[in-house]
Every structure is written in structure tokens, then in C-alpha cells.
């Protein structure tokens, strides 16, 4: 099976920085667009940033200029560098991937929005 495993979340003071990582593993045929979403209780999950396999990026207006998404295709890993963090950045951050993988029966399956389990980020003094 395919796994997306996030790491790097935690408690950080306002104005500080944090880096999230998401590593994909398993019988992956190809990884297309990957991204980070976040969600707070009672609200819908929202896109934070995304990056294509070619390196094109897209950001939510609320994080432009503060967050940077990057990607290491060889390691099947994406990163989210978060600078100048604000209390409103507090959320559970989820890794997302559009990908194709081999099933247990060696059948290629393509899926949009394959999710990790999330990593919590708390910005508080």
C-alpha cells in the first residue's frame, strides 16, 4: 500500500519558523501534484500550497510570502517551510498527493487526493 507520512509539526511561538515534511512510500507508479492542506475543528480543509512534479507552485493568499513548498522527486518527499508563523496558522496539516500506484494484484490505480494522517501545528506564546 501507499503511505504519506508527515512529520515536523509541533508547538511554536508566533513569528518563529517550522518545516514540515511528507514522505511517500509504497508501490508508487508516479507522483503528480502534491500539496499541503490544513484544517481546524469546525472548518473545511483548505489548501495551503501545492507543487507539481515539474516544480510549479500554488499558494493560498494567507500564506504567500511566508510559506514555501518544495519537492525532492528522487526522495518522493515534499516540504513546507513556514516562516513568520501566526496563531491563525494553527491547524492540523495534511499531506496530499495525486498519484498512481500498483494494487495488490499489480493493477495500476490512479487516485486524486491521497491523504496522509496529518501533523498538528500550534502557534502560541
State the pLDDT at residue 74: 94
CB atoms within 10 A of CB 27: 13
Q: Compute the mean pLDDT over every residue in the chain, rounded to the nearest whole number.
A: 97
Which SS3 state, helix, strand or coil, does residue 20 take? strand
Contacts of residue 28, defined as CB under 8 A and 6 or more positions apart, other chains included, come to 2, 76, 99, 100, 101
State the pLDDT at residue 1: 83
pLDDT tens-digit map of 94-119? 999 999 999 989 999 999 999 999 99
Of 80, 79, 47, 45, residue with least CA distance to 66: 80
pLDDT tens-digit map of 72-92? 999 999 999 999 999 999 999
Burial of 70: CB neighbours in 10 Å, binned 0-12, 13-18, 19+: middle
For 30-35, what is the mean pLDDT?
96
Amino acid at each position: 500500500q501507499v503511505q504519506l507520512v508527515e512529520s515536523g509539526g509541533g508547538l511554536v511561538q508566533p513569528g518563529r519558523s517550522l518545516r514540515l515534511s511528507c514522505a511517500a512510500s509504497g508501490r508508487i507508479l508516479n507522483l503528480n501534484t502534491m500539496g499541503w492542506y490544513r484544517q481546524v475543528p469546525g472548518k473545511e480543509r483548505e489548501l495551503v500550497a501545492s507543487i507539481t512534479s515539474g516544480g510549479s507552485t500554488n499558494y493560498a493568499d494567507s500564506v504567500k510570502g511566508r510559506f514555501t513548498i518544495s519537492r525532492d522527486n528522487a526522495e518522493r518527499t515534499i516540504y513546507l517551510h513556514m516562516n513568520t508563523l501566526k496563531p491563525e496558522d494553527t491547524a492540523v496539516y495534511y499531506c496530499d498527493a495525486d498519484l498512481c500506484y500498483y494494487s495488490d494484484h499489480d493493477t495500476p490505480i490512479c487516485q486524486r487526493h491521497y491523504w496522509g494522517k496529518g501533523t498538528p501545528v500550534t502557534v502560541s506564546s
